[in-house]
Chain A
Amino acid sequence: MSEWLHSIPLYWAEVIGVLLFLAVIVFAWLMPREFVFGDALDQAGWRDLRIWATLICLIQIGLYLIFN
């Protein structure tokens, strides 16, 4: 098991890391709209927290691609 793990190339770490952020984006967009807005005063676009989540995850993916 340990030998097999050590044989995994290091770039798979980056792939898994990027996939994790992509999964978070998908998860955010699977949340029902009314659950995301909750009791917000209005449903203006900037209050959509799924957009915030997507933006920060894309920034993170960029960082993980730069420092690979």
Chain B
Amino acid sequence: MHLGTAATVDVVIVIVYMLVILGIGTYFGKYVKTAKDFFLAGRMLPWWIIGFSIIGTNIGSYDYMGAAGNAYRVGITQANYEWIGAIPAMIISALIFIPFYWRAGVYTVPEFLGRRYNAAVRLIMALIWGVVLICFLGIFLYAAGLLLNSFLGWNVMWGIIIVAVIMGIYTVAGGLTAVVYTDLIQFCVMMIGSISIMVAGFIKVGGVSGLMAKLGEYNPQHLKLFLPLDNPDWPWLGMIFGLALVLSPAWWCCHQSIIQRTLGARSEWDAKAGMMLATFPKTLFAFFILLPGFFILLLSLPQGLANPDQALPEAIKALLPVGLTGLMFAAIIAAIQSTVDSTLNSLSTIWTRDIYQRFIVRKAADRHYLAFGRWLTVIFLVGGILFAPMTKMFPGIYLAMQYILSVFQGPTFAIMLLGILFRRVNQWGGLFGLVIGVLSAMIMLALDVGFLYTAWWSFVIAVVVNLLVSFLTKPDPIEKLTNLVYGLTARPMKGEANV
């Protein structure tokens, strides 16, 4: 896919897709009457839409492009990010964390931490997520602009503006409802596009057996899920302890964009089942995003690709006919949009609920917060558009974001886990565990420990500090902990559990 080479029919498919998304997303605006409707879809979401929306939010363009490139480079070990680095954590999230969030009736993860510990913990977490999500917004929008540039030949900035305006209109109008229903359509488009390239690829390489045989012949390591400890990027120990036990649970149990759609569930069971349902497409998508990398690896032998990150565009060019090419690009744009609209909605929710409503204007009418949330969405979108082109000045910015995530993911997960499981853990333990955990992670990163190991050790330090400080200080009163800690919950009445 090079500048302006897309066939007319492919361009039409992409444009039709965008218009359909705009129309459907905007339609849901008529259901938004209160702040709860805007931020939590009125708590009316059924489990199946939550499940597909979670996957739409989770799979972004970096999964498509990056995973195909890594599959080309190192093989199926990349699938660990979708399998052991996701599935156990998603199940734990569904069975342990989500019931507590839902019963507490909170809008955000920092709000839950604020109730469980104290306002300082809430503020720190809200500021961390608020800033990190702004950066992510810019990076995602820039990726969208680059994609439209490579496919349609549009100017990058115009591409960013068009994608942002389309998403902005339906996110401002329909809030979380519009986001999750468009996520569903985007999920379907992603499925169709991915299946197209998978079928075309298997035909070229001789089916599953042909692919396995040729890959095994090229490099048996490409079919190994775990790589030796001397591998600099994917050592198996780091994969299990850093990724599966810390980074992944932190992502699936504490990430606002992921958790927010479960908070909008119509019942506690729907919230849990939504997350559980998402484990099935999550497993499947590993194949969708990795296989193009394998296909182009085999098709480009013996000379190979100069840049493995071009694995997906090259695979599309080599495998898909006109029409299906447009569909595949619509799928990648869908992946970007479904991630960006969720990020935008979560940003607006965190800054409205955890900062504006908690610390600035505490007792305004509901309509005030609804209007503020909408304006904030517009402001963040404009900020994202302006920030997006700057990301090109920092070529390693995406990798840097992974490092930034590893600074606070371990401590966040540590205080959340202890806070939900143990009533003896108190507000000071949570605060010191979070702060010292984050500081220790920063020191480890400065010492070049590697982000997988940094995540693990900062988690351990936060656990130890939290327990130590808690046992040295007075316990929190039991009435403060009701519905927030295991063993102190009341069974929810159907549809009435929320505060």
Give the residue among A27, A31, A38 with the most B Cβ atoms within 10 A. Answer: A38
Question: Is chain B's interface secondary structure helix, strand, loop, or mixed overall?
Answer: helix
A17–B84 touching, CB < 8 Å: yes
Q: How far is the CB of B231 from chain A (nearest CB, A)?
A: 11
A41 and B495 alpha carbons, distance in the complex (Å)? 10
For A52, what are the chain B residues with a Cβ–Cβ distance below 8 Å? 273, 276-277, 279
A67–B76 touching, CB < 8 Å: yes
A10 and B491 alpha carbons, distance in the complex (Å)? 45
For A63, what are the chain B residues with a Cβ–Cβ distance below 8 Å? 79, 83, 225, 283
Contact segment of B89-97, B114-122, B315-323, B412-420 = B89-97
**Which of A14, A31, A59 has a CB less than 8 Å from the CB of B95?**
A31
Judge if B230 is at the interface, Cβ distance under 8 Å: yes
Q: Of all chain A residues, which has the CB nearest B75?
A: A67
Number of interface residues of B (CB under 8 A): 39
For B63, what are the chain A residues with a Cβ–Cβ distance below 8 Å? none
Which residues of chain B from 252 to 281 have a CB within 8 Å of any chain A CB? 267-269, 272-273, 276-277, 279-280
Total CB contacts across the A-B interface at under 8 A: 107
**Which of A14, A38, A56, A68 has a CB less than 8 Å from the CB of B269?**
A38
Q: How far is the CB of B230 from chain A (nearest CB, A)?
A: 7
Judge if B236 is at the interface, Cβ distance under 8 Å: yes
Q: Of all chain A residues, which has the CB nearest B283?
A: A59
Q: Are A53 and B497 CB-contacts (below 8 A) given A24-B91, A39-B269, A60-B83?
A: no
**Which of B92, B99, B225, B495 has a CB less than 8 Å from the CB of A17?**
B225
Judge if B304 is at the interface, Cβ distance under 8 Å: no
For A5, what are the chain B residues with a Cβ–Cβ distance below 8 Å? 229, 237
Judge if B328 is at the interface, Cβ distance under 8 Å: no
Q: Of all chain A residues, which has the CB nearest B88?
A: A24
Which residues of chain A from 1 to 16 have a CB within 8 Å of any chain B CB? 5-6, 8, 10, 13-14, 16
B230–A41 touching, CB < 8 Å: no
| 20 extra interface residue pairs, beta carbon distance < 8 Å, beyond A5-B237, A17-B84 | A10-B224, A10-B236, A14-B225, A20-B84, A20-B88, A21-B84, A24-B88, A24-B92, A27-B92, A36-B95, A36-B272, A39-B269, A39-B492, A39-B495, A52-B277, A52-B279, A53-B276, A63-B225, A64-B225, A68-B224
